[in-house]
Amino acid sequence: MPLSDDWQPAATLEVLKLRARLLESIRAFFSGRGVLEVETPILSTAAITDPMLASLATRYAGPLFPHGQTFYLHTSPEFPMKRLLAAGSGSIYQICKVFRDGECGRLHNPEFTMLEWYRVGFDHHRLMDEVAELVTALLAPTLKLDTPERLSYREAFRRHAGLDPHTASSADFAAIARERRIGVPKDLTSQNDLATWRDLLLTHAVEPELGQGRLTFIYDYPASQASLARIQSGEPPLAARFELYLNGIELANGFHELADADEQRARFERQLHARAAAGQAVVPLDERLLAALSEGLPDCAGVALGFDRLVMLAAGARSIAEVMAFPVDRA
C-alpha cells in the first residue's frame, strides 16, 4: 500500500481553535439563561421513522442482551430529550454527534455535530428570536449580518420560485423548472409527487437565495412536512415548523413540539407504511417516547442546529470537510 498523508487533519489548527471557541460561547450562552446541559444515548433500540432519514445501526451482545440486540445510532437526540422534558427537566440543551446513512457531500458528512435545545413555554416564533440572538452573537466576530428576516414557506416560494407551493400543481412546478433550466429527475414529470417537486424547487431555486448576508427564517411548512411539529388549523393546515438559512445554507430546523401521543403514533405508523412501500428498512418505533408523551410533554419549542455548518460560515469555508478534524474520507 502506498504511504498516504491522509492521517493528517482536514481542518487547519486555526479552524479547530475556532470550533472550540464557538463551543465555549454556546455553553456560556445557555448557562447564562439557565438552560441545563444534558447527555442522552447515541444508541437506541428504536429509530427515527421519517422516510427521508436513514439510520446507521450496530449490534451489541453481552450482559443484558446475551443473544445480541440491534442498536440504531441517533439521527438527532430529539426522542430522549423529550423524555427528559416529560420527566420535568425544564429547558435543556445538548451538543452531540449525530449520524445519518447515505449523506455525504459539500454540506454533508455521515456523522456531524448537532446543537439541539428545547425551551419550555416557548412557541416556535419565540424560539426563532432566541436562535437569532445566539447565532448573531456567535458569528459577530467574523460576519457582519443585517437584521434577520422571517418569511413564510409560501412567501419564500412566491418570491424566489414564482409560485404558491401549497396550491401549485405538478404542471406549475414543471413549468417553473423548465423556465429556470432546472434538470428534472426523469420520473418526476409523469408522477403527481408534489412533495418531491417542492423539494426540487426548494433546493435548486429557493434555498440558494435565502439568508444572503442575513439570517432568514422560513416558517409555516406544508402539513405533510410537519415531522414532529404541531399542525396549525387553517386552509391549508400548516406545520408549526421553521428552518434557518444563512448564505443559502440550511443551518437549523425547529418545531413547536407536538405533544399529542396519539397523533404522534399515527404519524410514526404512516411513515413506517411509506418506508415499507418504498422498500426502505421498517424500523422499531420509539415506544418510550410515546409513553413519555402520554404522560405529558410540557408546552415547548425545540430546534436542532448543525454546528459544523455554523463553523463553516464563521470560518468562510466552502465545504463541511474543511471544518472537521477528520471527515469520513479520513475517518
Partner 1 sequence: MATYSTNEFKAGLKVMLDGDPAAIVENEFVKPGKGQAFNRVRIRNLKNGRTIERTFKSGETLEAADVADVEMQYLYSDDQFWHFMNPESYEQMAADKNAVGDNAKWLKEQDVCIITLWNGVPLAVEPPNTVTLKIVETDPGLKGDTSGGGGKPATLETGAVVRVPLFVQNGETIKVNTRTGEYISRA
Q: Binding to partner 1 by residue 66, rule CB under 8 A?
A: no
Stretch binding partner 1 (CB under 8 A), from 13-21, 89-97, 122-130, 200-208: 200-208
Give the C-alpha separation, 233 to 80, whole Å: 28
Tell me the sheet residues that pair with 72: 44, 57
Strands (E), 121-160: 146-152
Give the C-alpha separation, 25 to 22, whole Å: 5
Give the C-alpha separation, 70 to 176, whole Å: 45
Q: Binding to partner 1 by residue 183, rule CB under 8 A?
A: yes
Give the C-alpha separation, 96 to 276, whole Å: 30
Q: Binding to partner 1 by residue 196, rule CB under 8 A?
A: yes
Q: Binding to partner 1 by residue 216, rule CB under 8 A?
A: no
Q: Is the peptide bond before 236 cis (omega within 30 degrees of 0)?
A: yes
Residue 229 or 314 having the CB closest to partner 1: 229
Selected binder of partner 1 within 78, 130, 220, 250 (CB under 8 A): 250
Q: Which of residues 97-156 bind partner 1 (CB under 8 A)?
A: 102-108
Tell me the sheet residues that pair with 306: 114
Selected binder of partner 1 within 178, 203, 237, 318 (CB under 8 A): 203
Tell me the sheet residues that pair with 229: 257
**Binding pattern to partner 1, positions 40-59, x when CB under 8 A?**
----------x-xx------
Give the number of residues in contact with partner 1, rule: CB under 8 A. 33
Give the C-alpha separation, 59 to 70, whole Å: 5
Q: Binding to partner 1 by residue 227, rule CB under 8 A?
A: yes
Q: Binding to partner 1 by residue 319, rule CB under 8 A?
A: no
- Using DSSP, state whether 190 is helix, strand or coil: coil
Residues contributing to the site for partner 1 (CB under 8 A): 50, 52-53, 102-108, 181-188, 195-196, 198-200, 202-204, 207, 225, 227, 243, 250, 253, 306
